Amino acid sequence: MMVDAVRVGLVGAGPWAQMFHAPMLSEGPHCTLSMVWARRFEAASALAGQFGAAATDDFEALLAGCDAVAFAVPPDVQAQMAPTAAVAGKPLLLEKPIALALADARAMVAAIEAAGVPTQVVLSRRYSSRIRTFLEELRGFTVAGVRTSFVSGAFLPGSPFATPWRLQQGAVLDVGPHVLDLMDAVAGHIDSISYVGDTYDWSALTTVHDSGAIGQACISSVVPGELSDLTVFGPEGIRSAPPRDDTERGEVMRTIAEEFAGVVRTGQSHELDVRRGLYLQELIQGR
């Protein structure tokens, strides 16, 4: 039986909306991009026109023209606007970090939970079959240690990710949620975390998990090239996730759209929900 695609309104028309969210939501068959909102109507119109969607600079109009809302805006803007969408009864597809300040993240979560709408967070590596298969293969494996890296040149001049909030806040708040989410998924709940280095140039962090496992990670967004690896250690030996290939982004986009449509239709939040986003932000900013 055919099911109508979920109409998603997209908040934002910047580089990440252009590169990821708009193509993901317009591809179908599970979601369709119904409308794009931006503060500047010209920006909303330019992006919406590429995908056959309507454009608006009126947030209330966006809410009236969709079944659910996806956010691709700076975290502080997301934290301001998401509660309004939640009060309007719209399921939410949120970006990480869910806010800039921890207090704002907590306030946003409280407002969303009071509204009772389901949520999903774009922790992109967790939607990859490569990572999901690796995590499944670790069932029964005793993890004593985990090592991972998220290193790239994302903040270097000319990169579409070198946006003001990222350059001001640094790599840990930007990609730290990805790193800590995977470390938690591999080794269990993170009990404590410590950092050395600089949040902008290079950071190394150590996690202590409730299981007793110890994790170590390196994070930087000012190194030319890219390294994204994940290795676990235990009595049974060493296990490493396979490397990412060029097809992964497309696969991840399709999976996020399909699973968000499921969230909207069932009214049940995803495993990677706004509470997960808050947990990761508390690890980063609660120290």
Number of H helices, E strands in the chain: 11, 12
Nearest alpha carbon to residue 166 among 127, 180, 157: 157
Helix (H) or strand (E) holding 147: strand 145-152
Q: What average pLDDT score do residues 138-145 get? A: 96
Mean pLDDT of 141-161: 96
For residue 117, the one-letter residue type is V
- The answer to whether 163 and 15 have CB atoms below 8 angstroms apart is yes
Whichever domain contains 260, its CATH number is: 3.40.50.720
Q: What percent of the chain has pLDDT over 90?
A: 95
In this structure, the answer to whether residues 115 and 253 fall within a common structural domain is yes
Reading phi first (left if > 0) and then psi (alpha if -120 to 50, else beta), residue 168 is in alpha
Q: What was the pLDDT predicted at 1?
A: 42
98 assigned to some structural domain:
yes
- pLDDT tens column, 206-224: 999 999 999 999 999 999 9
Q: What is the pLDDT of residue 2?
A: 47
Full residue range of the structural domain in which residue 230 is found: 129-243
Say if residue 95 is in the same domain as residue 235. Answer: no
Residue 279 lies in a domain: no
Return d(Cα 194, Cα 215) in angstroms, integer. 10
- Kindly state whether residues 88 and 159 are assigned to the same domain: no
Same domain, 72 and 139: no
| CATH code of residue 171 | 3.30.360.10
Q: How many residues make up the chain in this entry? A: 287
Residues 141, 134: Cα–Cα separation, whole Å:
11
Do 256 and 230 belong to one domain? no
Work out the pLDDT band at 201, boundaries 50, 70, 90: confident
Q: Are residues 108 and 22 in the same domain?
A: yes
Checking if the pLDDT of 186 tops 60, the result is yes
Angle at 143 (CA atoms; ends 141, 148), nearest 5 degrees: 120
Q: What is the pTM of this model?
A: 0.96
Domain count, the chain: 2
- Amino acid in the structure at residue 210: D
Q: Using pLDDT thresholds of 50, 70 and 90, give the confidence band for residue 286.
A: confident
100, 197: one domain? no
Angle formed by the axes of helices 248-266 and 129-137, to 10°?
80
Tokens of 178: 């990805």
